[in-house]
Amino acid sequence: MARILITSALPYINGVKHLGNLVGSMLPADVYARYCRAAGHEVLFICATDEHGTPAELAAIEAGQTVAEYCAEQHDIQKTVGAGFSLSFDHFGRSSNPQNRKLTQHFCEVLEANGLIEERTSKQVYSVDDKRFLPDRYVEGTCPNCGYEKARGDQCDNCGTLLDPIQLITPYSSVSGSRNVEIRDTRHLYLLQTQMQDQVRAFVDARAANWPNLTTSIAYKWLDEGLIDRSITRDLSWGIPVTQNGKPRPGFEEKVFYVWFDAPIEYIGATVEWAEANGGKDWERWWRTDKGAHDVTYVEFMGKDNVAFHTVSFPVTILGSKEPWKLVDKLKAFNWLNWYGGKFSTSQKRGVFMDKALELLPGDYWRWYLMANAPESSDTAFTWESFKACVNSDLNDVLGNFVNRITKYAAARFDSKVPEGGAPGEHEAWMANELAIRLPALIGYYEAMEFRKAAAETRAIWAAGNEYITKAAPWTAYKTSVELAAVGIRTGLNLVALFGIIAQPILPETAKKILDAIGVPEDRRSLKPVNVGTGDYATLLSVLPVNMPINVPPQLFTKIEDAQVADWTARFGGG
């Protein structure tokens, strides 16, 4: 049994996340966590809302709330929506909680003690009409790289270029819209990343073999271009106060830490929250290598826009502290899920958002489609047509129809029990051979975190079951040999159980319905690699004892109709 720490990129607090956010971090992290638990590992799955920074202040103003009220409300909303998608976080914390405040202030002080923090005077946009310095995201203007006219001061959403607000052409205040802005001097704390260039490269070199190409290419691009010293404070009122020796830092009373400094630290902060919320569990055994975390495998999930901060900036913080903190081992990055040729966008309300998706269909429909089409090797496009085809074929026709046919026939012809009698023959041997090939492949894909392949292999196993039942044809055999039919239905029921077991990582609610209905006990639902590594795959067709009572599960899926696609297209766009 391994110990596996899993973190998802923190969803930002400004509203419910869209499907692109979901598939880019939280959902694959959950699928992997569920696989690891089913494989018998000890898992801690941590996430939180990322609550600091300019967008939170702007969203609160728009909502007519204080920032604290807005963040508390949105945290509860996001937690509820996450539960609707069966996201199995062990803890879903908040970056504004005291635990993260304490840790962030601690890291700054130890980094400064180690010579990696210094005060510098920098140029910053000042709004004369707003009477305030404008942090990165309070400034918008034309991107100097691509000409996009609504680029933010920290990053262009159109081309992805990281920016300094003073680089923007025709900058203006996103608070008031005023163009009466000036470039003035202000003082901030800078993290001296340039001094950590060699250490960070050594860190990346040591892990690159366990990272996908997308992750390593981004990390090495930043390293090859050369790290730069980055400001870790901002002129804002909402955030973690800047301290020195445990007291407010002189000259920084009206400044807070930059959200990209404190947000990754919340992975640790949320773990402390989890420990305190669960009777004082030992959080240090997950994060401190001198307290037992040396044998933890730490896995991070995120979209490609977050990779640089997690392969460079956060490691600078951890390594620069010279304290025995656990560093990431595997970092799974995702490309974009696009919406009809353009990006999903929270700020522009473009695409389907998690709460609205749940109003249309249960979470498992979306989980399956998103994992079967996960943007791993390249960007992928969401369309209503592909969503309909995937759901109707994979879920309704291949899985749902198989479970329905077998369980209903067992109920009608074999008294709702696993039938006995008859001996396995050539068709059962064929099915066992399919499983001997496909189950190790499925396990291998999960271990490698190749989720599209894992979904495809899962479907292939379901499809093999359908092919088996066509070969065995127990309903035809029943006319001449009840025993031969009993073999087919007994094997079919065991396949139903197996299909439910392998569906657990991606389709947790559906899997539970199947396994509950046919009476598979909790301790027989494991997907441990040892169970599919012995070579005796025929035993996997004997999960259910003969004469064991079974029930017909409720209808698992409903086909999506053309009229629904037309309605959703009219409501949400596309087509």
pLDDT in tens, 358-369: 999 999 999 999
Q: How confident is the model at residue 265 (pLDDT cuts 50, 70, 90)?
A: very high
CA dist., res. 6 & res. 24, Å (int): 14
Residue corresponding to tokens 């190749």:
450
Quick one: pLDDT at residue 523? 85
- Percentage of residues of the chain with pLDDT beyond 70: 97
Q: What integer is the mean pLDDT of 404-417?
A: 97
Better-predicted residue by pLDDT, 335 or 531: 335
The Cα-based distances of 453 to 134, 157, 433, 442 in angstroms read: 46, 30, 20, 8
Average of per-residue pLDDT across 117-130: 92
Question: Residue 271 above 50 pLDDT?
Answer: yes
| Per-residue pLDDT at 364 | 98
Amino acid 167: pLDDT: 93
- Contact of 353 with 317, CB cutoff 8 Å: no
Q: How big is the chain, counted in residues?
A: 575
pLDDT at residue 136, rounded to an integer: 82
Q: What is the pLDDT of residues 102-116, one digit of tens each?
A: 999 999 999 999 999
Residue given tokens 């050539």 in the structure block:
426
Show the DSSP H helices in 473-481 as ranges.
Answer: 474-477
Report the distance separating Cα 226 and Cα 222, nearest Å: 6
Take residue 301 and report the two structure tokens written for it: 């999930």
Please provide the average confidence, as pLDDT, over all residues in the chain: 94
Task: Report, as an integer, the average pLDDT of 76-92.
Answer: 98
Distance CA 74, CA 69 (A): 9
Judge whether 570 and 426 are in contact, CB under 8 Å.
no
Write down the pLDDT at residue 547. Answer: 95
* Distance spanning both ends of the chain, measured CA to CA: 48
Task: Give the amino acid at 461.
Answer: I
Supply the pLDDT for residue 533.
45
Instruction: State mean pLDDT over 254-283.
Output: 96
Torsion of CA 193, 194, 196, 202, to 10 degrees: 110
pLDDT for 39-59, tens place per residue?
Answer: 999 999 999 999 998 889 889
42-49 and 233-234 as β-strands: parallel, antiparallel, unpaired? Answer: unpaired
Query: How confident is the model at residue 135, as a pLDDT?
Result: 78
- Within 10 A of 276 (CB to CB), how many other CB atoms are there? 15
pLDDT at 535: 45
Query: pLDDT per residue over 149-187, tens digit each?
Result: 999 998 898 998 888 899 999 999 988 899 999 999 999
DSSP state of 396: I
Q: What is the pLDDT of residue 539?
A: 63
Using alpha carbons, select from 429, 421, 435 the residue that is nearest to residue 472. Answer: 429
Tokens 């025929």 found at = 538
Tokens for 294, please give them.
């040396």
Per-residue model confidence as pLDDT tens digits over 520-567: 988 888 887 545 444 455 666 778 989 999 999 999 999 999 999 999
pLDDT tens profile 288-312: 999 999 999 999 999 999 999 999 9
Confidence (pLDDT) at 371: 98
Q: Spell out the long-range contacts of 541-545 with Cβ–Cβ below 8 A and sequence spacing 24 or more.
A: 541/424, 541/428, 541/431, 541/432, 541/435, 541/491, 541/494, 541/495, 541/498, 542/494, 543/494, 543/497, 543/498, 543/501, 544/418, 544/490, 544/493, 544/494, 544/497, 544/518, 544/519, 544/520, 545/418
Q: What is the pLDDT of residue 546?
A: 93
Render pLDDT for 473-490 as a digit per residue (tens, 0 to 9).
Answer: 999 999 999 999 999 999
Instruction: Quote the pLDDT of residue 538.
Output: 63
